[in-house]
Amino acid sequence: MRNLLPRRHGSPHGIYRAFVCLQPAKISPISLDALFVGQPILAAAALQAASSLTLGTRRAPSQLLNPDIPVRIILDNLARSPHTLIMSPVCGLDIPGLRDHLAFRRMETGMQTLAAHASELQSLDPAQPAAGILLGILAQWVDAGFDGSSLVRDLLERFPAARRAAVPLHDYLHLRMAEGMLAMAAEDFTLAAGHFHFVQSLEREIDDPELFAISNFWTARCLRRIGRYDDALGFATRARRLACDAGYTPMAAIVQVLESWLAFQKGKLSEAARLLQEAEAALAGTDDSVTRGNIQSAYGRIARRQSRHDAALHHFHRAIAEYQCRDPQHLHIARSLVNIAVTERLIALHRQKEIDRASARRRADSHEPTGDGLRAGRAEIERLRASARAQLAAALELYTLHGQHRGIGTVHINSGLLHLDSGDLESAVADASAAFHQGEERRDGLLLARARLLQCTIENARLEEQIGEDPAHHARLAADFACDAVQYAAQTQNPRLLARAYIWQGLTFTAQPFADLESARRCCRQAMTLLQPENLDRQSGWEDLEILKSRSMQVRPIDPQLRAWSNGSVDNKTFRQMTEEFARIVIPKVWEREDHKVARVARKLSISPKKVRRILHSAGVSESKISHAAKNSL
């Protein structure tokens, strides 16, 4: 009998087992009749099978099937596509038609159809056959831009746990997809991926390639948002294959846009551009303005990474125009506004470097032309920064409207960088703290790492500009923030973010007077290893790495006293005197390295805390400074 069953179903009783596992105590003739709509013979067979199953018990097919019911009838019905069961309209809507409009990206037609039946949707009866399937398809349309997630949430409340026990398996899977969409909209990507994984676990039991293509695609989107790029690529690849096999070429093109983004994150810019071009061609005959906007946005990111800033701005503005075709307040508009702000900031930084070089030439050559050009350049920088701040303010308004924590945090990160460029460190600190708070609320590792990087950069700026009375305090803060950034970034699959964290940890190690050049060189090597697949000559943004290379390769001067001793010059000093002088050189350095904790120095060097304090005093460190440092380090 096993040979009579099509391979895609795996086991002749997979559907029975899945249904029993979902609600083993709720099996009834009514629920099984709903599972096999219009198939009373098959429902009777399923009822007998279910009644003989207990949770955790497996039985042979011969023990489950009633020999009086023809096996061929059961297998024929199991193999039948579920689409044949949902041809009757629900709420006046043709479900296969809605599904195909979405798969072939006939967006205006689909949304007009849904809008025309808005009142019928509001009165959806969960007892109707295929009501759950309609809700799942509606969730896909809401994700694509129709209405809002509140519509799906309200309708989903009509399917409580008790009612779901009686719905067919196919409906139940669509309900789980709707729940996953709501979790995605709320930025709970781990929960959303859990719903989608459940749906995928029953792929062999249901013949619905569109459902499983979307499930894999949405899983990839969730994993991308939490920084698991390698894992996301596997689901995206499967989603595209399922869509292609089903003949849904435009749907496959949407998945390609995601694959392009993942390639971009790996530094594979040529591959990313190729995937975008293929997707753009496949969608040329559709009215999917949102995906076309995503393509333009991706082109802009590629151009910006290659320092083609004017081209990047052109693509970002085109993306906004595409999004506005769907909705003047579309969420993705905020992302493009942030991208424009980032690009304008980079242009301003480039202009500032040009001005600094010109100023240096003027100081070196009294015949250099007057500073009119420099004044115009500075005015241009201020204009760019003011424009960037305005773009971020508009983006913050949109992200707040849509309740997007990641977006709000990203605005604060870039606002903080702008304040840092202008020397407003206090405002930069406030933005960095706000971004970290947004990341903590959602346990967002990407945002937490970026916020800590900004905080590390601010503390290094304070050290470099000698702001504050206690440089050691700022050095400790910078080191702590850098360590956190590395840990958060390591929890993702974003090598560029982790590389940047190592770079700033290394730069923190080079800060004087507490430099640890060996640790700085280790960080430099780790960053370079992560960036090896990239062609850094063609990609911008790694000037900090070059600075780290330069600083970490410097040779620190050897203490003159140690150099003299190494040459045998002891100046008639006894060994005990030399030991005391050596302690005065070494112990203050160890004290700084051990976060100014006397007890830790004592344990490390196996001497008494009293002796550590005495040597620190003899080296010129006052008791008040020792006590103050110990208090700050708590």
State the Cα–Cα distance between residues 624 and 331, nearest whole angstrom. 55
- Cβ atoms of 26 and 166 closer than 8 Å: yes
pLDDT at 33: 39
C-alpha separations of 172 from 17, 168, 242, 437, 514 in Å? 14, 6, 21, 37, 61
pLDDT at 83: 41
pLDDT at 553: 78
- Cβ atoms of 630 and 596 closer than 8 Å: yes
pLDDT at 367: 54
State the Cα–Cα distance between residues 198 and 202, nearest whole angstrom. 7
Q: What angle do CA 276, 277, 281 make, to 5 degrees?
A: 115
Mean pLDDT per block of 10 residues along the chain (634 residues) reads 33 37 38 40 43 35 35 33 52 90 95 93 91 96 93 95 89 96 95 97 92 98 95 97 96 97 93 97 94 97 96 98 95 97 96 84 63 81 97 98 95 97 95 96 94 96 82 89 96 94 94 80 92 57 85 70 76 83 83 79 87 82 65 54
- Tokens coding 65: 């099937």
Beta bridge partners of 93: 90
pLDDT at 117: 92
State the Cα–Cα distance between residues 216 and 240, nearest whole angstrom. 9
pLDDT at 1: 32
Beta bridge partners of 90: 93
- Tokens coding 523: 């960080």
- Tokens coding 592: 């700084």
State the Cα–Cα distance between residues 86 and 129, nearest whole angstrom. 8
pLDDT at 281: 96
pLDDT at 633: 53
Place of tokens 């303005």: 289
How would you class 565 by CB atoms within 10 Å of its CB: exposed for 0-12, middle for 13-18, buried for 19 or more? middle
pLDDT at 51: 40
Place of tokens 């990313």: 272
List of long-range contacts for 106-112, beta carbons under 8 Å, 24+ apart: 106/286, 106/287, 107/144, 107/145, 107/286, 107/287, 107/288, 107/289, 107/290, 107/326, 108/287, 110/141, 110/146, 111/141, 111/145, 111/146
Q: Of all residues in the chain, what percent are helix, strand and coil, respectively (each to 5)?
A: 75, 0, 25
State the Cα–Cα distance between residues 247 and 250, nearest whole angstrom. 9
Place of tokens 């010109």: 358
- Cβ atoms of 600 and 572 closer than 8 Å: no
pLDDT at 369: 53
- Assign 90 to helix, strand or coil: strand
Contacts with 620 (C-beta within 8 Å, 6 or more apart), sequence order: none
